[in-house]
Amino acid sequence: MKNALTFLQDHGIQPTAQRVAIAEAVLDNTTHPTAEEILVDAQKRCAIVSRATVYNALKLFVEKGMLRTQIIREGTVVYDPNTQNHHHFIDEESGTIIDIPWDWLKVQGKQNLEEYDIHEYQVILRGRKKR
């Protein structure tokens, strides 16, 4: 786990008890949580964390580059503390989202899209873990 206090300070964010609890809830998490899941976890760490505080802190964390937002669960925004380029595998049985290292997959044919200014891309794989 990354130290939440240091992580906030390194990103120029004034640490408060609520922000530290929210940062810990995200940084301790490898499941790509939603804001509501982060709220529940953060309230266990700091009882005075409100829903508005979670949403405001998450917005700030994304703006400062601490987190990325992803829409890889249908219609739901999830938060990813892994800000390095990577892909995702979604287990359709459990709903688990797993990070796939960037260099494990190659995307070909980008040159066919030269009329577009592509600033980011990722591959999302869906399936089930083999038994």
| 5-57 pLDDT tens trace | 998 999 999 999 999 999 999 988 778 999 999 999 999 999 999 999 999 99
The CATH code of domain 4-80 reads 1.10.10.10
Please state the pTM of the whole predicted model: 0.83
CA angle, residues 16, 17, 23, in degrees to nearest 5: 85
Quote the CA–CA distance of 97 and 3 in Å, as a whole number: 23
Percent of the chain topping pLDDT 70? 98
